[in-house]
Amino acid sequence: MSDKPSAFEHPKRFYTDVTAEPAEGGGWQILLDGRSVKTPGRALLRLPTEALAQEVAEEWAEQQTYIHLIGMHLTRLANVAIDRTPEIREEMAEEVARYCETDLLCHIAEEPFELAALEEARWRPVLDWAGEKLGVILMTTEGIIAAPQPGASLQAARDYALGLDDFRLTALVFACGVFGSAVLAMALVEGALTAESAFHLSRVDEDWQAQKWGQDEEAKAAADAKEIEADAIGRWLDGLQG
C-alpha cells in the first residue's frame, strides 16, 4: 500500500504565491496565485482585519507538497465563522450555556487536599472575574457531579455570546471545547487571559497528576494537540484586534 496521502485527505499544493489583499466591498481576502480562496459553502473567505488575513495567508503559505487542511486551524475558524455561525448563533449561545452547567472550573477535586487547594487558588480568580464582569456567577462543587447553576447566570452567558460578532462567537465556542470551560473561553475572548494562560488553567489537574506520577505519552500527545488549537484561537482573537 502506498503511503502517499490521498487527494481527499491532503490535496496537493497547487499554488505558488499567497497574498492577503483588500476585498471588494470591504474586508480582506486571501489570494492563491491571484485567485480568491473560497469557503466550503463557496463564499469569499473574507476577513475583517488585515492582521487576521495575514495570519491566515501565512497558514496557506506554510503548506508544503500537500495541504494539511485539518491542521489549518485559522482557516477552519474562518470557514465556520462565514458559512455556519450566522445561521446557528442561537444554538451556539446555548452551547456556551451548557458548558457553564458543567464548567471545568466548577469541579474541585474531592481529594487530595493539595490538588483541591491548588485548583481553588488557580480557578477562583477567574470565576470571580466572570461573575463581576459578565454576571456569570457559577457555583462550585467537589467531585464530578455538576451543581445546578443559577438560571440568571446561564442567561447572562447566552446574552454574552449573542452580543459577540460572528468571528468572536466562533472563537468562543471553539475555546469552550478546547478548555472544557465557558469561563476560560470568555476570559480569553475578553482579553482577561492569554491563550497560554487559559490552556494551563484548563490543565491544573492533569499537570499535577503528571508531576506526581509521570507523564503518559498518549495523554501528552492529546494535550499538545489541544495546546496548538488554543494557540490558534489566541492568534485569531489577536488578529481580530487589527
> Which of 43, 66, 83 corresponds to the end of one domain?
83
Q: What span, in angstroms and rounded, lies between the C-alpha atoms of 6 and 110?
A: 48
Q: Number of folded domains in the chain?
A: 2
pTM: 0.94
C-alpha cell at 163: 452580543
Chain segment 208-219, per-residue pLDDT in tens: 999 888 888 888
168 in a structural domain: yes
1, pLDDT greater than 50 = no
Q: What span, in angstroms and rounded, lies between the C-alpha atoms of 70 and 235?
A: 17
* 124 & 211 share domain: yes
pLDDT for the residue 93:
98
Residue 48 is part of which domain span?
A: 18-83
4, pLDDT greater than 60 = no
> What percent of the chain clears pLDDT 70, i.e. is strictly above it?
96
Specify whether the CB–CB gap between 37 and 45 falls below 8 A: yes
The CATH number of whichever domain residue 107 belongs to comes to 1.10.3580.10
pLDDT for the residue 116:
96
4 in a structural domain: no
Specify whether the CB–CB gap between 237 and 196 falls below 8 A: no
* 79 & 93 share domain: no
pLDDT for the residue 20:
98
Mean pLDDT, the chain, whole residue set: 94
> What percent of the chain clears pLDDT 90, i.e. is strictly above it?
88
pLDDT for the residue 150:
98
pLDDT for the residue 5:
47
* 139 & 108 share domain: yes
pLDDT for the residue 9:
67
> Which of 57, 83, 109 corresponds to the end of one domain?
83
Strands 35-36 and 46-47, bridge-based pairing: unpaired
Q: Read off the pLDDT band of 7 (50, 70, 90).
A: very low
* 130 & 29 share domain: no
11 in a structural domain: no
Chain segment 78-94, per-residue pLDDT in tens: 999 999 999 999 999 99
* 111 & 161 share domain: yes
227 in a structural domain: yes
Specify whether the CB–CB gap between 24 and 16 falls below 8 A: no
Integer angstrom CA distances of residue 31 from 4, 27, 55, 74: 27, 13, 13, 15
> Which of 44, 61, 83 corresponds to the end of one domain?
83
Mapped onto helix, strand or coil, the DSSP state of residue 201 is helix
* 126 & 206 share domain: yes
